[in-house]
Structure 1
Amino acid sequence: MLRRLAIRAVFGLTALLLALPAAARTRPRYGDTLRVEVSGDPWERPGGLARRLVFDGLTQMAPDGELEPALAISWASENNDHRWQFRLRPGVHFHDGSSVTTTAVVASLMASCTANCPWDSVRALATSIVFTSDEAMPQLPQLLAGSEFLIAKGAGADPDGGTGAFEVSGFANGTLTLAANDSSWAGRPFVDAIEIRVNRAVNDQWIDLAAGRTDVAEVPAESIRGAQQQHLNLALAPQAEVLALQLSDRGALANANLRAAIGYAIDRNAIANVIFQKQGKISAALLPQSVSGYAFLFSAERDLNKAHELRGGMTPAPLVLTAGADAALQLTAQRIILNLREAGFNVQLAGPAVRAADMRLRTFAMQGADAAGDLVSVALASGLAVPAMGAGPSSTYNAERELLEHRTLIPLVHLPRAWAVSGRVRDLQLRYDGSPVLEGVSLEAAK
C-alpha cells in the first residue's frame, strides 16, 4: 500500500512539473545520459529500439510520415520504376572509421534480404546503388527506410558496424550503453549516451519512472488508459500497427472457404474493447483509415452464421495457433480460439517457436503516410505476393482487396504505440510506426 502511495505521489509531482509553462524551459542542451527501459531485446528484428540508433538506411521516414534522404542523398527511377539509382552520401564513415562505400552498402542489403526482396538485383555503380526488377517498384524509396534494410558493415549482424547517431560502448548487468557519435553525418545528438535496460517488465518500468530511475518507459496499448489515469506524460502514435491473423493456405486450411469462415467468426469488438481497453480500432483493412481513406469499405462485423455456412459441415483437423509471449497477444489468441470453437473449429494454442502452425497472430507496423508503400511493406513482411498497383487511392484499394481475398491475412485491430517520459525529457517525437526518435531528445539540467 505504501509503495503504491509513493508511486502516485511521484507521478503527481511529475504531472505538476509537466504543466509548467513552455516559456520556462530553455533551448535544447547537450550532455547527460538518457535512460530507457524495454521489455524485450533492443536488437530484435525488425523493430528493436537500438537498431535505428546505431544503423541508418538509404532513406528514412520523418515523424510526419514523409520520406527523407539518409545515406542516400538523392534517387531517381527509370524504365517505369523497374530501375532505381540511389546516389550515396559522400564522406560518411562507419563507427570503426572505415568509409561507407557502395560495395559495403550492397553487401549489407544482400545479407539482410535473402528472400522475398522488393528488388531482383542490387549492385554498386560508381557512387550509386542500382536496384532492378522485372516488376515495377514505385514504392522502393519508402521500403528502403524500413528497419529491415538498415545498413551495417560486413554481414549486417555486427552492432558496432553502423553509421548512426550512437555507437555501442558496452553491455553489462542487463544494460546496453550507447555513446554519442561525434562525427555523425546527421549531426551530433544532444545527449552524451543512452542506457537501454533490457527485458524489464512494464510494471517495473513504471515503478522506475516514478522513482526517477529511468526517463523513457513502454506503455502497451492495453495500458494506455491506466497510464493516462496516473497522469503519465505520454508520447502517442495513434494507429502505428495492425494486429492481424496470418493463415496458412496449406494442410488443414488449404480450402479458401475455411479460411474465410475464420475471418467471419472472430469478434473484433471483444478484442479491441476488452483486451486492449478500447484503445484499438477494429478494422478488416490492413491500412488504417487515416492512411488509406478507404478502410471503412471493409466490413469488420462478426457473422457467425456466415462462418458456419462457409465451413459447410467440413471438420478440419485440429488447428494450431501461435502468438507472441506478450500478455495481450496471448489473451487475444485465447479469445480467437473461443470464437472459432463457436464456429465449429478445434484450435490449440502453441508457443511462438512452433514453425508448423496453421495460424499466427502478428503485428505489422505502418511505416509512413504513403498507403501504397505501407501495403507493400505489409505484404513483404507477411511473405505474400505484392499486387500490382498504379497511382492513386483507388488502385491501392483494389490491391489491398486483392491481397485480402486470398484469405491468408485477416486484419483485426489497428493499435497505438505509446511511451511514458519523465519530466526532464524534451522534444521526444515518435515515428509513424510508434518508435521513439531518441537521437533528437535533450534533457533538462539537474536543479
Structure 2
Amino acid sequence: MLRHFAISFFLASVAICTWGRTRPHYGGTLHVETAGDAWERPDGIARRLVYDGLTQMDGHGALQPALALTWESDNANHRWQFRLRPGVRFHDGSLLTSASVVASLSVSCSADCPWTAVKAVGPLVVFTSDSPMPNLPALLASDQFLIALVATADGKTPVGAIGTGPFQVTGFNNGVLALIANENGWSGRPFADAIEIRPRRAVREQWLDLSLGHADLVEVPAEQIRQAQQQKLTVLTSPPVMMVALQVSDSGALANVKLRGAIAAAVDRSALYNVIFQKQGEVTASLLPQRLTGYSFLFPTDRDLNKANELRGGLTTTQLTLSAEGDAAMQLAAQRIALNLHEAGFNVQGTNVSAQHADIVLRKLLIAGSDPAAVLERIVWDTGKVGLITEQTDAALFKREQTILDDKRIVPLLCLPEAFASGPRVRDLHLRADGTADLADASLEDTR
C-alpha cells in the first residue's frame, strides 16, 4: 500500500511540474527578425500586432468578429451595417467610434473601393454600393482595411502608428521596432510584455541569431524550408497561402490580348517550382487554389512555347520592363521568366521601377480564407481592378475565374506557404490563416 501511494504521489508530482513548465507565462520580450519591412503588405508582421480589422479570420480561414461584433446586410447585399464592439479604445486612450472607423477606411481606400460609400450611424458603420457586395465582411478582414487612428480628438494627425491591437508602438531606435503589450486590449492582454522587431535582416543572419539565442522568431523563405528542417530548426509552416503571379499591363505595348496570352504560355512554371522554390507549394494556372475549389487542375500549367509563338505571330513590341516585388527568390524567378520570354521572341529588360510603371510585375497575392468567392474578389481588387464576385456555385465561379484568366492580365504561377522558425523559449506559437505569426497568443518559457 505504501509503495502504491509513493508511486501515485510521484506521478502526480511529475504531472504538476510538467503542467507548470508548459502553461503560458506572462512576461518577457520576444525578439523577432525579418528580411523585409515589418509594415509592408501583405505579410508585414507588425501590422496585425498593432491594428485590428472589423472582422478577422480564424486559423482555419473562417470569418470571426473583431472590432465589429455583428454585421448584417439588406437590399440584396447592396447595404451592410457593422455594429462596433463597445468600449474599445485606441492605444492613446481615445474611444473607437464609428466615425473613427470611417475616417480610417477613407484613408486606406480613397478610390476604387469595394463599396460606393461608407458612413457612421451611431454605433454602426454602414456601407452602401450600387452593386451587391456579398463578400464585404470577408474583404474587411484584409490587412488593407485594418483600422488606425488617423485624427486625434482635437483634429490633429497622431504621431506614430496607433491602433487597437494587442501591442502598441513605443519607438523605432537603432533599426529596432519596439512594441509593448496593450494592457487594456479588447481581446485580452498578450502573454509577452514586449516585442522587438529587427527588420531588413538577411535570412542567414536571422538563422545565426536564432542559433545564438539572440532571436526568438525568424523567417524561413519557402525555398529554404527543407534546408531549415535539415538544420533541425523548429519550423512552423502554413498551407499555400500566397500566390506568385505575373501582373501584365493591358495598355501600351501589351494592349493586344494575344501578346499577353503569349507571355502566359511562355512561362516555365515547372522550372520555377523545381529550381527556384525547391518544390515547395504547388504549381498552378488558376487563381483559386485546389483546396478551395477542387477544379484548379482543369487549368493547364505546362509551358507551350509553340502556342506562345503562334499567339505572338509577327507582332513585335518595344522593349518590355519586368520588375519583381519581394525577396531574392522573387528576383531570381523574374530573371528566369525574362529568359522564358526572350525564347518566345520578346525583348524584356529587368528593372527596379515600381509596379505602376513596369509592363510586367512578378508579385505575391494573398489567397487565404475558406470562402472562394471572397478570395477571388480580393485577388481582383488587389490587382487594381474593381470586380464584384457574386457567383456562389462552383460552376458559376469556374466560369467567372475563366473569364478573368482569359484576359491574361493576371497569370498565376505558383502557390507558396509561409514559414517561421522559433527558438526554444517560444511556446504556443500558431500561424494565422494568412500565414503570419500570431504573436499575441505566444508565450516565453522564461524572461530576459
| Alignment TM-score > 0.5, same fold | yes
| Structure 1 residue aligned with 2:178 | 177
8 Å CA contact 1:123–1:129 kept in 2: the answer is: yes
Aligned counterpart, 2:107: 111
The runs of at least 4 consecutive aligned structure 1 residues that moved more than 6 Å come to 21-24
Q: Do the aligned partners of residues 299 and 23 (structure 1) sit closer, same or farther apart at CA in structure 2, a change above 3 Å counting?
A: farther
The amino acid across from 1:347 in the alignment is V
Q: Give 2:63's aligned amino acid.
A: L
1:57 pairs with 2:58 = no
2-structure distance, mates of 1:136, 1:345: 41
Aligned counterpart, 1:88: 84
Gaps of 5+ in 1: 1-20
| AA at the equivalent of 1:56 | D
> Is the contact between residue 146 and residue 367 of structure 1 (CA under 8 Å) also seen in structure 2?
no
8 Å CA contact 2:133–2:388 kept in 1: the answer is no
SS in 2 for 1:360: strand
1:157-190 CA-to-partner distances (Å, cap 9, x unmatched) read 8544211101111211111110000100000001
Tell me whether 317-326 or 194-203 shows the greater mean CA deviation: 317-326
- Alpha-carbon deviations, 1:41-73, whole Å to 9, x = none? 112234321111111110011111111101000
Q: Is the 8 A contact 2:245 2:413 kept in 1?
A: yes
Paired position in structure 1 for 2:6: none
8 Å contact kept, 2:373–2:391: no
Q: What is the Cα deviation at residue 385 of structure 1?
A: 3.4
CA distance in 2, matches of 1:22, 1:65: 32
**Contact 1:285–1:411 under 8 Å retained in 2:** yes
2: CA distance, partners of 1:320 / 1:158: 38
Listed one character per residue, the Cα deviations across residues 315-351 of structure 1 (whole Å, up to 9, x for unaligned) are: 1111111113521111111111111111111100000
> What secondary structure is seen at the aligned counterpart in 2 of 1:141?
helix
SS of the residue corresponding to residue 171 of structure 1 reads: strand
Question: Structure 2: which 5+ residue stretches go unaligned?
Answer: 1-16, 152-156
Determine if the alignment matches structure 1 residue 254 to structure 2 residue 260. Answer: no
Deviates more, 1:75-84 or 1:353-362: 353-362
Alignment partner of 2:337: what SS? helix
1:234–1:177 distance in 2 versus 1, CA, 3 Å:
same
Q: Secondary structure of the residue that 1:439 maps to in structure 2?
A: coil
- In structure 2, the residue matched to 1:315 is 316
Q: Distance in 2 between matches of 1:389 and 1:146?
A: 18
Q: TM-score, normalised by structure 2?
A: 0.92
- Please report how far the alpha carbon of residue 446 of structure 1 lies from its aligned counterpart in structure 2 after TM superposition: 5.8
What secondary structure is seen at the aligned counterpart in 1 of 2:113? coil
Map 1:22-421 onto structure 2 (within 5 A): 25-154=21-150, 159-324=160-325, 326-353=327-354, 355-386=356-387, 388-421=389-422
- Contact 1:387 / 1:399 at 8 angstroms: preserved in 2? no
Q: Secondary structure at the match of 2:292?
A: helix
Cα separation, 1, equivalents of 2:329 and 2:224: 10
Cα gap change, 1:79 to 1:379, in 2 (>3 Å): same
DSSP-derived class of the 2:22 partner: coil
**What is the alpha-carbon root mean square deviation over aligned residues?**
1.7
Q: Distance in 2 between matches of 1:389 and 1:215?
A: 43
1:352 to 1:202, Cα distance in 2 relative to 1, 3 A: farther
In structure 2, C-alpha distance between the alignment counterparts of 1:240 and 1:32, rounded to whole Å: 31
Instruction: Label 1:99 to 1:415 Cα distance change in 2 as closer, same or farther (>3 A).
Output: same
TM superposition shift of 1:387: 5.0
| 2:320–2:349 Cα contact (<8 Å) kept | yes
C-alpha distance in structure 2 between counterparts of 1:23 and 1:82, whole Å: 52
8 Å CA contact retained: 1:387, 1:402: no
Q: Secondary structure, in 3 states, of the residue corresponding to 1:440?
A: coil
What is the alpha-carbon distance in structure 1 between the residues aligned to residue 139 and residue 303 of structure 2?
A: 33
Which SS does the other structure have where 1:364 is aligned? Answer: strand
> 1:57 and 1:146 mapped to 2: Cα distance?
8
Give the deviation of 1:222 after TM superposition.
0.9
Q: Deviations over 1:74-109 (max 9, x none)?
A: 000101111000001110111111111111110000
Alignment partners' CA distance in 2, 1:301 and 1:419: 31
SS at match of 1:378: helix
Q: Tell me which amino acid in the other structure corresponds to 2:147.
A: I
* Distance (Å, rounded) in 1 between the aligned partners of 2:228 and 2:129: 47
Q: In the superposition, relative to structure 1, how do residues 354 and 403 fare at CA in structure 2: closer, same or farther (>3 Å)?
A: closer
1:321–1:349 CA contact under 8 A, matched in 2? yes
Alignment check: 8 A CA contact 2:325 2:364 kept: no
Deviation at 1:363, TM superposition (A): 0.5
Structure 1 residue 352 displacement after superposition: 4.0
